[in-house]
Amino acid sequence: MRPVWVLDTNVVVSAALTAGGTCDQVMRAAIEGRVVLAWSAPMLAEYREVLLRPKFKFSPSTVAALLSAFDAAHQVPVGAAPELPDPDDEVFLAAALGTPDRILVTGNAAHFPAKLCRPAKILTPAAALKLL
């Protein structure tokens, strides 16, 4: 059975910005079918909004291609999550808690204190790749 992960926005953006980097390798693992990317509608909206910011200079077609890695079959319902230091991060934790593996991959682990996130596991992209 393939692992099911939730990606924080910073992982998706880093994947788009740095070809061959650790975050890109995480995204490629999903595209290759080695991992399933779970997501919720608010998460996908945030990915799209951030990727389309002018500073990144991604075309709408590039953003659409990147977001196609998030298969409709793996959408999770918006659920509840514990309060986090940044309330905007709660949708990512809620999605992770709604998956069998309860794994959230982020480059900002400090935003997800382990004591608040249990039983979810918060992994850096490098730690996530080691699981594969």
Quick one: which of 58, 75, 71 has its CA closest to 14? 58
Measured CA to CA, the distance from residue 70 to residue 90 in angstroms comes to: 19
Is 51 in contact with 43 (CB distance < 8 Å)? no
Task: Measure the CA–CA gap between 62 and 86, rounded to whole angstroms.
Answer: 28
Superfamily of domain 4-131: 5'-nuclease (3.40.50.1010)
What's the pLDDT at 48?
97
Question: What is the pLDDT, as a whole number, of residue 23?
Answer: 97
Torsion (CA) 118, 49, 38, 88 in degrees, nearest 10: 20
Q: How confident is the model at residue 111 (pLDDT cuts 50, 70, 90)?
A: very high
- Encode burial over 26-62: b for 16+ CB neighbours within 10 A, e otherwise: bbebbeeeebbbbbbeebeebbeebbeeeeeebeeee
pLDDT digit string, tens, across residues 28-71:
999 999 999 999 999 999 999 999 999 999 999 999 999 998 99
Q: Domain boundaries in the chain?
A: 4-131
Position 113 pLDDT exceeds 90: yes
pTM (predicted TM-score): 0.96
